[in-house]
A and B are shown apart, each in its own frame.
Chain A
């Protein structure tokens, strides 16, 4: 049996940013997922949520809970990443000053997601969007 949770994240919506991650954490606790895995999913989920709010033109977070693994998919509808290797470099960010002043945009988002997931895949096309699929072993 698997379970799904889906969240819409709008660009620039910092009032609700973090809500999806909080809900994901609580849900996983109630499903009896171990604290260690919850922590990893929380960090990756929060980074993903922030990326959607800061960099994308809006997108979705999908959590699928299965018996053996958790899949967290973060998908947006643009603008897409031109150079994924560069974007994956720690410290590299396209975030503007305003966002950096809020404590975001340090360029740790994607590397952080990759470090916390057991399997990390990213695909992106400029003008179309980015899709990140992260798997976590339960």
Chain B
């Protein structure tokens, strides 16, 4: 896969230009031009809403094929906690993990392991002085990008601990390096992903989160290997004890899973991109000043609702909850606090650079010109019908007005304005037909 800023892309052949996706986009990143959808890269946050809603399945997420692992001598599959919600609880977690391994990996690890480390470190990070309140979870990359694009004033609130995915990669690579059998470059680490946003994180080299010690070599969609796992699950040999993570870490796949690690704090967890936007708006205007930690997840239900999963998100949630209930009866050793503290203090858990705003461009760099353009937009907006029908290819009348002023659309892209123009034209045509020209022979011969 090439280096991409985004994972969401369009299959042009399948796209009919139907405009269904336009209004589902929480950042207004899509336009339909020339009969095809176009995604504005600087606005897209990889939330996957358009992938979910497209009736023609023309929106896709770029992920890696399973065969990419063949480029490495030793391969590791890191599975997102969401995977255990994809299969009925009659299959043990060891059975699911063994089936993933049977696809040809040398090793399978749970990202829940990294989640446990990050979750336990959260209580230390919470007290770091640099954060305004509320501290905002960095777990969902789509929400982090949403904040960069739509709530730039809140970027300093975002927690700078690495994700469970990156931490798992780091700890796995560290262990393999210490075992000394393989060089770092011979080890291929693959994330089995529930969503497009994580795939972007894996494949975006500009992400400041990574260095070669937590490199992930590819993101494979859960849905792409679901049928292969299903055909292995009942027949492959079960390796007992691969699953060794806590019930708490497995619930990171659900909304609120991370928040549960911050005991005795005022936490608020919200799922579904529109709900997250609504709450961030309240945080932004200072209304929720008693909230100490905010966990926002773009997909409904949390990662189980990711656009690259197979099982219904509510069913997946039920499966995970069923499993964690029985897990609590078995005794899994929790990670000792000293271990977490040593990793935390080593600095390897932190994203080195600040998370910066990606504010939308102003109408003009010169405020006077921007004001002038704003007035033009308002005049145009008043002329438009206000139906937000999307037939023009912009997500609403206001957006069309902005596109026209930016020189990216025309007034007659609006079907209602076009209709008025056609009517005016036909009135004019009629009038002209009535007028006799001095040199023209009359249509009806006069007596």
Contact = CB atoms under 8 A, between A and B. Distances in A.
A90 B372 CA distance: 40
B367 A46 contact: no
A31 B153 contact: no
Contact of B153 (A27, A39, A112, A138): A39
B360 interface: yes
B164 to A, nearest CB: 29
A21 interface: yes
A32 B363 contact: yes
A18 B370 CA distance: 24
A46 B286 contact: yes
B152 interface: yes
A18 B363 contact: no
Given A29-B360, A67-B367, A45 B152 contact: no
A35 to B, nearest CB: 5
Contacts of B364: 32
B284 A32 contact: no
Task: Give the bracket for the number of chain A residues in contact with chain B.
Answer: 20 to 34
Nearest to B278: A18
B365 interface: yes
Given A38-B153, A46-B287, A32 B365 contact: yes
B367 A32 contact: yes
Most B C-beta atoms less than 10 A away, residue of A3, A30, A112: A30
B420 interface: no
A35 B375 contact: no
Nearest to B361: A32
Contacts of B281: 18, 22
B284 A39 contact: yes
B225 interface: no
A43 interface: yes
B368 interface: yes
A22 B151 CA distance: 11
B284 A67 contact: no
Contact of B287 (A3, A39, A67, A103): A103
B368 A1 contact: yes
B367 A35 contact: no
B315 to A, nearest CB: 34
A112 B363 CA distance: 30
A35 B152 contact: yes
Given A32-B370, A43-B285, A65-B367, 14 more contacts: A1-B372, A29-B359, A30-B374, A31-B362, A31-B367, A31-B374, A32-B362, A32-B367, A33-B367, A39-B153, A42-B153, A42-B284, A43-B286, A67-B368
19 contacts: A1-B367, A3-B375, A18-B281, A18-B282, A21-B285, A22-B281, A29-B360, A30-B360, A31-B362, A31-B370, A31-B374, A32-B367, A36-B153, A42-B284, A43-B285, A65-B367, A67-B367, A67-B368, A103-B287
